[in-house]
């Protein structure tokens, strides 16, 4: 074998080996690219899932906030409506006059009189517009006298220094008690709710 043939065989072997190395490198490069593409797809998929979860969480949070705000607005509207009804009731009660006002005022004085001893000196306060009415009614009671103005819708505040008792029988206190005792029913009727 000649030297040239040996050189040629070595060259052929080197070319063959280079081809193998190149082929292995290309296969390895393809594997690396495929792995990288798979990793990228997984990362993209995870990022999309995270984004979807974040969007859903944000949507739920906004929906919850909107529901809470709507509930607060409804409650505020109810409170305003109840306040309007209360103001209307108070205005109508303040406007009661004539025999009805006398009858109600007399009943409130009678109820308060039960709290005092017969020999007590009793002071009676009432609405300034009712002074004449209260004074006329008090003519029927011994030891009772109109003592001055009390800021109220009507009715009386009755007190005695000797017994240290004070009875608030104003229309306001009656409305307060009725309102408090019946607020649930008033609200149910006003807003058509089942009880």
CB 124 within 8 A of CB 167: no
Predicted TM-score of the model (pTM): 0.64
Rounded to a whole number of angstroms, the distance between the first and last alpha carbons of the chain is: 115
In order, the DSSP letters of 68-130 are HHHHHHHHHHHHHHHHHHHHHHHHHHHT--HHHHHHHHHHHHHHHHTTS-TT--EEEEE-GGG
- Non-local (6+) Cβ contacts of 43 within 8 A are none
Beta bridge partners of 146: 124
What are the tens digits of pLDDT across the range 43-87? 888 888 889 999 999 999 999 999 999 999 988 988 898 899 889
Task: Read off the pLDDT of residues 120-139 as tens digits, 9 standing for 90 and up.
Answer: 789 999 999 999 999 999 99
């Amino acid at each position: 074998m000649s030297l040239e043939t040996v050189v040629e065989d070595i060259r052929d072997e080197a070319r063959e080996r280079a081809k193998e190395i190149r082929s292995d490198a290309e296969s390895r490069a393809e594997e690396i690219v495929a792995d990288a593409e798979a990793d990228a797809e997984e990362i993209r998929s995870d990022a999309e899932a995270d984004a979807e979860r974040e969007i859903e969480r944000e949507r739920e949070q906004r929906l919850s906030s909107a529901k809470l705000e709507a509930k607060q607005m409804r409650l505020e509207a109810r409170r305003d409506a109840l306040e309007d009804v209360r103001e209307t009731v108070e205005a109508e009660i303040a406007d009661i006059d004539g025999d009805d006002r006398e009858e109600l005022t007399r009943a409130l004085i009678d109820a308060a009189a039960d709290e005092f001893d017969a020999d007590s000196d009793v002071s009676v306060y009432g609405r300034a517009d009712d002074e004449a009415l209260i004074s006329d009614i008090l003519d029927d009671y011994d030891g009772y006298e109109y003592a001055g103005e009390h800021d109220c819708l009507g009715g009386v505040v009755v007190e005695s220094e000797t017994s240290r008792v004070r009875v608030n029988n104003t229309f306001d206190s009656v409305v307060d008690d009725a309102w408090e005792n019946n607020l649930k029913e008033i609200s149910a009727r006003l807003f058509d709710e089942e009880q």
